[in-house]
């Protein structure tokens, strides 16, 4: 497993632990079974799905290029 793959696995594990713990309960309680949402960070797109009452976390892609393009577009507005 490459260092990037290890990093992605670690990120997914951290989100899973948080969302399935007491601090994430408020988020998960508001989702219906099978519902999902996505979080986009600078380096990852994370999808969280509620299955059997628990968060299932998937790292979908690396939107760095797209995020950089968005930043460039915004900076050109000034």
The pLDDT of residue 74 is 61
Paired sense of beta strands 36-40 and 54-61, if any: unpaired
Secondary structure E strands in the chain? 36-40, 45-51, 54-61
What parts of the chain have a pLDDT lower than 50? 65
Model pTM score: 0.71
For the chain, the domains span 3-75
The pLDDT of residue 41 is 85
The pLDDT of residue 38 is 96
φ, ψ dihedrals at 45, nearest 5°: -115, 120
DSSP β-bridge partners for residue 57: 48
């Amino acid at each position: 497993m490459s260092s990037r793959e290890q990093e992605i696995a670690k990120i997914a594990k951290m989100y899973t632990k948080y969302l399935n713990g007491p601090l994430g309960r408020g988020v998960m309680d508001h989702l219906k079974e099978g519902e999902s949402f996505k979080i986009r960070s600078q380096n990852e797109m994370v999808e969280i799905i509620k299955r059997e009452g628990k968060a299932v976390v998937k790292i979908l892609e690396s939107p760095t290029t797209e995020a950089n393009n968005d930043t460039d577009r915004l900076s050109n507005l000034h």
